[in-house]
Structure 1
């Protein structure tokens, strides 16, 4: 397939915070209403302190990057009009023990059935959708992407502080998120029928309440003809989101090329993948990772370079290689969101410094 024609879209989840304290504020309904008046449709998330913004469908990463900048700038203005601050951060750096659940029937039902998992949230991620011809292809592509998911998590890690303290993890969001019974890396599926059988079991057992609660880090989309990659924290900057989108699309294209050539995805054992996930969440860009293909421990940066090399044919075909190389070099030099949060906090042990750093990164490059 032609990588330059493969479609890609992005969903970014944001935290709404008090401009003074940085604590989450329950204003997603109000900010969404203000955005609607400006022609922007925002989605309400599980907790009242969160919103989701969706881009249009793109084939050009530069155009996607422009829309991401415009969306963040516009939504931040809508938040400000409601005395709130927009933050691109994986978890609230400072938060109460419980966040109000958004008052919709579905979200209230989730909260009733899953207890504190539904209340102790405020977890914000980024979902990349890549166009796919059918569900069978989406399931097989998911098998190919499983080993690369920890690297995408390490690249975008953006949740190092929680309730005013260091968590010891670059992505504490991913640790909290995997408490849900349907979250984390999916099993390896032999076919879409195998996938559907697992989903039906989860529905019948009450493990999930509906198909939208399949929270696996890669899945056939419930709503669109896409494969959806959901592993990442919301990246700190729009450039990092665009980098993530370009890498995910190229990796999906490479998976489809392998499928077309009759090559089957390697069935990485769940235990190996779990170890790779934990190392990615713990270290982010700063330490070592586990290569799921051979179980060797190597620097995360080396493994990410290997991912880019793997995706290189599709990146070059789409005209994205230069952007990816430059954006990757920039995030290595500057640090991702987790690195920036820790640097800000360790200077004076002041969470207010972290909030200001996160707020600046959220609109960095947005004009």
Structure 2
């Protein structure tokens, strides 16, 4: 399949996708009830879109396209309330967080469907191990070249979003020592990582995408599991590194941060992306996954080091005018306060009042999703 024509969209518009955990009330383990939950949601008005994910203990919900973070947040609240009502009818709960703390991948069931079954056949146990939960944020751009430019310009901020969303300290019944262990599952896929350092859409199509398509490696942009990727059918750039936050307020604030960064980067192009920007990319990404705000950030241009917390706070302070123009100053102020404290992973560790499998931890996560 040739690369889809890039469909321009209104610049800086936003959309959010959230992958959510379906939880059994009694055991607090994951529940394979996605089919029943989706059937129930399809039988009533739903303020967004709900669809399956790789395994039957997951559900993905997405918003409409929004011009403001305020309207995005309002729809996320409506989606949450509708989901919670449907889950109560089924006798299950819902939660955010990048991983479930003690579920076992061996017990997961692939969702019935041609794409999911093909992925399971191709990737083996990685498909069931991919029962992890992320937030994807889309921001609209006017042209394909803008999409490529923004994809690479945003790469410098990938560690920010990892740390700000990190909520997967536990995996398979153990404390991983990571703030975001979820991304270790993503990195296992052969087409993960970052986009090739090409700024022009036409060059990307002819020098990278078409050869990979001709070799039978990819059939569409869906086959790339990059941290950030253009989505030509939507006219957006999609950021994919965030764990699903524990509440929708935080999910909206992360979208506001992306919107403000996109405004700044697309407006001021005096310092365009360079191939050198990826020199420390993997190291910086690891530091954010492992240590959250306490990780180090190495500037690839100057090779100077600072804490990730410091870099986030400096960036938020520099976006004051952009946030004001986009009417999302309150959301960025919320993130600023958050970045001065503990990560969501730290909060989850603080809920561990008994050993894994911890009912108190899961109860705390499901309760926070309601707020």
Same fold, judged at TM 0.5 (above) = yes
Residue 309 in 1 paired to residue 304 in 2?
no
Question: How far is 1:302 from its partner?
Answer: 0.7
Match of 2:103 in 1: 95
The answer to whether the 8 A contact 2:277-2:301 is kept is no
1:326-358 CA-to-partner distances (Å, cap 9, x unmatched) read 34304644x33211111112x433421210121
Query: For 1:203, what is the secondary structure of its paired residue?
Result: helix
Give SS of 2:42's match: helix
Aligned to 1:356: 363
2:23 matches 1:17? yes
- Residue deviations 1:132-154 (CA, integer Å, cap 9, x gap): 11211101111100111111111
**Is structure 2 residue 251 aligned with structure 1 residue 241?**
yes
Is 2:294 the counterpart of 1:294? no
Q: For 2:44, which of 38, 41, 46 is the aligned residue? A: 38
- The CA RMSD over aligned residues, in Å, is 2.0
What are the ranges of 5 or more consecutive residues in structure 2 without an aligned counterpart?
A: 1-9
- Indicate conservation of the 8 Å contact 1:239/1:327, yes or no: no
Residues 203-257 of structure 1: CA deviation (Å, up to 9, x unaligned):
3445445431212111111431111111111112212111110010111111211
1:63-102 to structure 2, matched below 5 A, reads 63-98=71-106, 99-102=108-111
Deviates more, 1:348-357 or 1:28-37: 348-357
| Distance 1:201-1:321 versus aligned 2 partners, 3 A rule | same
Instruction: Find the residue that maps to 1:284 and give its secondary structure.
Output: helix
Instruction: Evaluate the alpha carbon distance shift between residue 190 and residue 327 of structure 1 in structure 2; reply closer, same or farther with a 3 A threshold.
Output: closer
The two structures have a TM-score, normalised by structure 2, of 0.90
Alignment of structure 1 residues 1-367 onto 2, 5 Å: 6-40=12-46, 41-98=49-106, 99-196=108-205, 197-208=207-218, 210-259=220-269, 263-330=271-338, 332-333=340-341, 335-345=342-352, 347-350=353-356, 351-364=358-371
Q: Distance in 1 between matches of 2:263 and 2:345?
A: 29
Q: Structure 1 residue 269: deviation in Å? A: 4.5
Is the CA contact (8 Å cut-off) linking 1:69 and 1:238 kept in structure 2? yes
Contact residue 7 and residue 131 of structure 1 kept, 8 A: yes
> How far 1:5 moved relative to its partner?
7.2
Q: Is the Cα contact below 8 Å between 2:348 and 2:361 reproduced in 1?
A: yes
Asked whether the 8 Å contact 1:92–1:162 carries over to 2, the reply is yes
Distance in 2 between the 1:255 and 1:140 partners? 9
- The DSSP-based 3-state class of the residue aligned with 2:161 is helix
- 3-state SS, counterpart of residue 241 of structure 2: strand
Q: The residue matched to 2:54 in structure 1 has which SS?
A: coil
Q: How many residues align?
A: 357
Find the residue that maps to 2:137 and give its secondary structure: strand
